[in-house]
A and B are shown apart, each in its own frame.
Chain A
């Protein structure tokens, strides 16, 4: 048995910096390293669980994939780390593992167990890493909907009648191929060949890149990964996703973030790897989501303008940061089942979720605070109202959490710094019209919430 490894940690100074809206690259790098550890541990736990519960074909696929990934780790450690840190890996591993693990009190879980093809998705990551490292290999990989998905590389359309099944992927001195039954696709990857070369049956990865003042954001536009696209369905589908529309909107939003919100832009550049484009909702109101299991990914519909996209990235980045922090350090007692009012939600929230929401609101409020000074004149009232609303939200969230006794010692450090940041904003003047609108919206929401959730004979949730 190996000695116990060290444990990832954060200092009070780290927590204070993050709570204050500073995202030093060194801290983001450590959060990223912790996510890599988490993914490696999830894979190992899944490997052990599969040995006892999965079919032989899944166990063999996982073992073979681990072997190839270990070889790539030895030859190209940075590339292997990049692939293993992908949000795709965490979301897939947590999904499969949660469905393999027993339910409460050792009872069988209620979720459908993962299939062999689900478990073998690890082989897709291994194949992608080996292809990019030009490391010769051969693996069996899952086929779903007629395609083999190779994260960070592209998808091979192998057909096979669209039925789920297996394909064999190989890289040797002759090149890379995927074969399944009578179908075969030559992959334009490896040995110096560009992955964007047009070949039949191959859809290269779609990537967005924006650069302003030397600060670059480079992200995958993910529409095909069978797990990550479940982050917040419905995902927009090829070819309905116009990557040009996304590229133009990202260019403009990134300019706003780099020029006027630099700490967040620096953090996003270091942490964000993947966007999952969602279909535009019928309501017209943009939607977005993140998951603590998919660090580095944001799912979102295309917001109507650049400030709205910038705001969404700020909002979701705050969730990503706090999710990574909570993987290392507990900030609120997850066993505390008391529910609280959150001014931005229609449902009562437990303390850990209220903290997540309050932190996201803090980031967004800071965004609009700055936009009041630098945004275009036609957006000025919107910025003032959003700032006025946001600081009311954060004030309420911080006060509720402080009074709740649900915070840990680290959580108290975190909330104290959030509170100090808010205190600086509370005295800033806002036009009467904006403050009045914010107050009216707040009062209307609270009244609706009370009508929905408070009962005269019940304790306050």
Chain B
């Protein structure tokens, strides 16, 4: 059985169980890499809107 994920650098880190306060210890570069994939610089929240008024 194949396991799929984004690569280790840009994948969605599992931070469940970590208090929000502890996330300050995360490496800047690692967080940036994740965000670059999740939220590209040119995109806003409209990028992932599925609106069936337009047919979805």
Contacts and interface: CB of A to CB of B under 8 A. Distances in A.
Q: Is B a genuine binding partner of A?
A: yes
Interface of A: 1-2, 4-13, 15, 33-34, 36-38, 40-45, 47-48, 66-67, 69-70, 73-74, 81, 91, 94-95, 97-99, 101-104, 109, 111, 231-232, 281, 285, 287-293, 312, 315-316, 319, 323, 327-330, 342, 344-347, 356-357, 360, 409-410, 413
B25 A2 contact: yes
B15 A37 contact: yes
A-side interface mostly: helix
A428 B31 CA distance: 50
A81 B16 CA distance: 9
B45 A91 contact: yes
Contact of A4 (B27, B35, B52): B27
B50 A8 contact: no
B15 A327 contact: no
B14 A319 contact: no
B20 A291 contact: no
A100 to B, nearest CB: 10
Contacts of B23: 40-41, 43-44
B12 A34 contact: yes
Given A41-B31, A102-B41, A292-B48, A1 B19 contact: no
Interface in B1-53: 1-6, 8, 11-16, 18-28, 30-31, 34-35, 38-39, 41-45, 47-53
Given A8-B11, A9-B4, A287-B53, A2 B41 contact: no
Nearest to B37: A330
Nearest to A109: B41
B31 to A, nearest CB: 6
A104 B26 CA distance: 25
Given A289-B50, A342-B55, A48 B31 contact: yes
A289 B52 contact: yes
Given A6-B13, A48-B31, A413-B2, 17 more contacts: A1-B26, A4-B27, A9-B3, A10-B4, A37-B14, A45-B31, A66-B20, A70-B19, A94-B45, A97-B35, A98-B39, A232-B49, A285-B53, A288-B51, A290-B49, A293-B45, A323-B48
A41 B34 contact: yes
Contact of A8 (B14, B28, B41): B14
Contacts of B27: 1-2, 4
B48 A37 contact: no
Contact of A44 (B26, B38, B53): B26
Contacts, number: 191
Contacts of B50: 289-292, 316, 319, 323, 356-357, 360
Nearest to A77: B17
Given A15-B4, A37-B15, A291-B50, A69 B20 contact: yes
Nearest to A84: B20
A316 to B, nearest CB: 8
Contact of B52 (A11, A73, A315): A315
Contacts of B19: 70, 73-74
B22 to A, nearest CB: 7
Contacts of A67: 21
Contacts of B14: 5-8, 33-34, 37
B32 to A, nearest CB: 8
A89 to B, nearest CB: 11
A12 B56 contact: no
B35 A329 contact: no
Contacts of A98: 39, 43-45
Given A7-B5, A232-B51, A103 B42 contact: yes
Given A345-B54, A356-B50, A1 B25 contact: yes
Contacts of B25: 1-2
B10 to A, nearest CB: 9
A91 to B, nearest CB: 7
Given A102-B41, A327-B38, A11 B2 contact: yes
Contacts of B51: 232, 287-289
A37 B11 CA distance: 11
B4 A329 contact: yes
A33 B39 CA distance: 19
Contacts of B56: 315, 319, 344-345, 356-357, 360
